[in-house]
């Protein structure tokens, strides 16, 4: 089981990504006709509270890495994939911040598809004169 405590031992975005990557199990059925279960869960007050706790803890940074602020929609990712039984038998770990991490949309897709190339590009530090044409 993946944990936040283990994740933060890795200092870099790529190191944390490699800890979380799911191996690109694209096309594996997750919820199908039972999609209403996870949609109901994500609309719940309890989920919204857990989500807020994770965002505050990670300072809104991608994979919780300082300097990788998310400037658009912040997703809170379950580090361990949710299964139908987790929702039908309510697994308390679904709300446990030790199993949640903030991610950008690009990082979230990279985790699910196992493709490092989808990770956000690092910010380039601007310097005086770097916009001079000649």
For the stretch 25-84, pLDDT in tens is 554 556 666 778 888 999 999 999 999 999 999 999 999 999 999 999 999 999 998 888
**H helices present in 11-124, as ranges:** 13-20, 35-42, 45-57, 84-88, 105-113
Query: Long-range contacts made by residues 39-47, C-beta under 8 angstroms, separation at least 24?
Result: 41/87, 41/94, 46/95, 47/94, 47/95
Please check whether residue 39 is in contact with residue 89, taking contact to mean a CB–CB distance below 8 angstroms.
no
pLDDT band at residue 122 under the 50/70/90 scheme: confident
Domain limits, the chain: 4-23+35-118
120 vs 114: CA distance, rounded Å: 14
96 or 26, which is more confident: 96
pLDDT of residue 27: 47
Average pLDDT over residues 93-100: 96
């Amino acid at each position: 089981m993946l944990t936040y405590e283990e994740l933060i031992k890795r200092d870099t975005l790529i190191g944390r990504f490699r800890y979380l990557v799911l191996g690109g199990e694209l096309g594996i059925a997750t919820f199908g006709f039972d999609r209403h279960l996870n949609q109901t869960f994500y609309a719940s007050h309890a989920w919204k509270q857990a989500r807020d706790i994770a965002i505050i803890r990670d300072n809104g940074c991608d994979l919780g890495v300082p300097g990788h602020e998310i400037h658009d929609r912040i997703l809170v990712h379950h580090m361990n994939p949710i299964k139908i039984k987790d929702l039908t038998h309510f697994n308390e770990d679904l709300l446990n911040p030790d199993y949640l991490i903030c991610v950008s949309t690009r990082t979230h897709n990279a985790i699910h598809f196992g493709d490092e190339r989808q990770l956000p590009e690092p910010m380039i530090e601007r310097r005086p004169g770097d916009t001079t044409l000649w």
